[in-house]
Chains A and B, each alone.
Chain A
Amino acid sequence: RKEVEQDPGPFNVPEGATVAFNCTYSNSASQSFFWYRQDCRKEPKLLMSVYSSGNEDGRFTAQLNRASQYISLLIRDSKLSDSATYLCVVGNTGGFKTIFGAGTRLFVKA
């Protein structure tokens, strides 16, 4: 079993739609959680950290469920520019052992 698992997609949604991604992790001792965004043939960039209480940044909402060991990302009112691969990232104690999921591809269409 992979340490961090994501549905690879692709998710094909129309503009304005709401889309949600889940990510599961296997290490119950994991301490930190992030979503990164990676555009085609580009480097990953931090989208948002995920906090225990859940957090929101504009159209993006991230949730953490420690009991079930998953994190989620919700995108509301999807834009064409949201088309990218979204990487789930889980960090363990010390921050060095950061595990990246393989990513979920999103295509937003007009």
Chain B
Amino acid sequence: NAGVTQTPKFRVLKTGQSMTLLCAQDMNHEYMYWYRQDPGMGLRLIHYSVGEGTTAKGEVPDGYNVSRLKKQNFLLGLESAAPSQTSVYFCASSLAGGDHNEQFFGPGTRLTVL
């Protein structure tokens, strides 16, 4: 099992460009999440999905869109990148929600917006 994979691993964008980050999991997990991690701050939830075809906003959704057309994939889109979106992006998945549910993380995507 590969677990949770993310592509690309690194990307540099210019302000205003768009891109899509792909997350894939092979654990048949229902729930998937996108976080961003910035220095001195904890992981912040951007969007999440509780199942195929569903998405919901997290703590910091502005400037991002997501889609979950297939259970195993969760895409994060930046329509018009801004320097404030320079960050490390982590995708995670979990079997379900709930109180004792472990989240499994991908290796991260390091994005720089110039």
Query: A96-B97, A98-B45 given as contacts; is B40 within 8 A of A8 (CB)?
Result: yes
CB-based contact A43/B105 at 8 Å: yes
Interface residues in A2-52 by Cβ distance below 8 A to B read 4, 8, 31-32, 34, 41-46, 49
CB-based contact B100/A43 at 8 Å: no
Interface residues in A82-105 by Cβ distance below 8 A to B read 87, 91, 94-103
CB-based contact A95/B97 at 8 Å: yes
A99 to B45 alpha-carbon distance, docked (Å) = 8
Summarize B's interface: helix, strand, loop or mixed.
loop
Interface residues in B81-111 by Cβ distance below 8 A to A read 90, 94, 96-103, 105-108
Query: A100-B42, A100-B43, A102-B41 given as contacts; is B105 within 8 A of A45 (CB)?
Result: yes
CB-based contact B42/A99 at 8 Å: yes
Q: Give B96 Cβ to nearest chain A Cβ, in Å.
A: 8
A94 to B100 alpha-carbon distance, docked (Å) = 10
CB-based contact A43/B42 at 8 Å: no
CB-based contact B106/A43 at 8 Å: yes
A98 contacts which chain B residues (CB < 8 A)? 45, 103
Query: A43-B90, A43-B108, A44-B90 given as contacts; is B100 within 8 A of A49 (CB)?
Result: yes
A42 contacts which chain B residues (CB < 8 A)? 107-108
A94 to B97 alpha-carbon distance, docked (Å) = 6
Q: Which B residues are closer than 8 A to A by beta carbons?
A: 31, 35, 40-45, 48, 50, 56, 90, 94, 96-103, 105-108
**4 closest A-B pairs by CB:** A95-B97, A100-B42, A43-B105, A32-B99
**Interchain residue pairs with CB less than 8 A apart (13):** A44-B90, A45-B105, A46-B103, A49-B100, A49-B102, A87-B42, A96-B45, A96-B50, A100-B35, A100-B42, A100-B43, A101-B42, A102-B41
